[in-house]
Amino acid sequence: MVQLRVLNGSRAGTAYMASRFPVTIGRASEDDLQVIEPGVWDQHLQLDFQLPDGFRLRRLGEGRASVNGAEFDELTLRNGDVIDLGAAKLQFWLGEVRQSNNRLRETLFWLALVGLVIVELLLLGALR
C-alpha cells in the first residue's frame, strides 16, 4: 500500500492510501486524490505500479510538476520523494505493513504438539 501525504495547503496533514492503481491526482472531482490548490490541473498526475520498475509517476496534460525539485514527464518514485504540483506538496511513502493475526494458528499448533507428546507417552507406556 502507498501513502501520499499532503504537506501543505488546505488539506495539510492528511494522507491518501492507494491500494489500487493507477491513481490520478488533480483538481477534478473524479480524481482519486483531489488537490484543490492554485496551479493544480484536472488529472494533473497519474501514479501507477509497473514491474520491474516500481511506482511510476507520469505528468498528464500541460500542468507542471517536479519531484525533489526536478521537473519530469515520467519517473520512478522512491520512498520519501516530495512531489510538487502547482502550489501543493505531496510526499510519496510506502504504507505501514500490518501483521495478520495468527493467534488461532498458533493455538492449534501448540494443541497439536501437546497432543502428539501425549500420544507418544501413551505409546511408550504401552510398550512396557
For 80-99, how does the pLDDT look when each residue is reduced to its tens digit (9 = 90+)? 999 999 899 999 998 777 77
Determine the residue type at 116.
L
Under the phi-then-psi rule, with left for phi > 0, alpha for psi from -120 to 50, and beta for the rest, what region is 9? left
Does the pLDDT value for residue 1 go beyond 90? no
Tell me the per-residue pLDDT of 36-82, one tens digit each, with 9 for 90 and over.
Answer: 999 999 999 999 998 888 999 999 988 889 999 999 999 999 999 99
Residue 100 banded pLDDT, cuts 50, 70, 90:
confident
Task: Report the distance separating Cα 83 and Cα 3, nearest Å.
Answer: 12
User: Model-level pTM?
Assistant: 0.72
Q: Report the share of the chain in percent with pLDDT over 90.
A: 73
pLDDT for residue 60 = 92
Calculate the average pLDDT of the chain: 92
* 15: phi then psi, degrees, rounded to nearest 5: -130, 140
Determine the residue type at 118.
I
Tell me the per-residue pLDDT of 3-14, one tens digit each, with 9 for 90 and over.
Answer: 999 999 888 999
Residue 3's beta-bridge partner residues? 17, 93
pLDDT for residue 68 = 96
Q: Identify the DSSP state of 101.
A: P
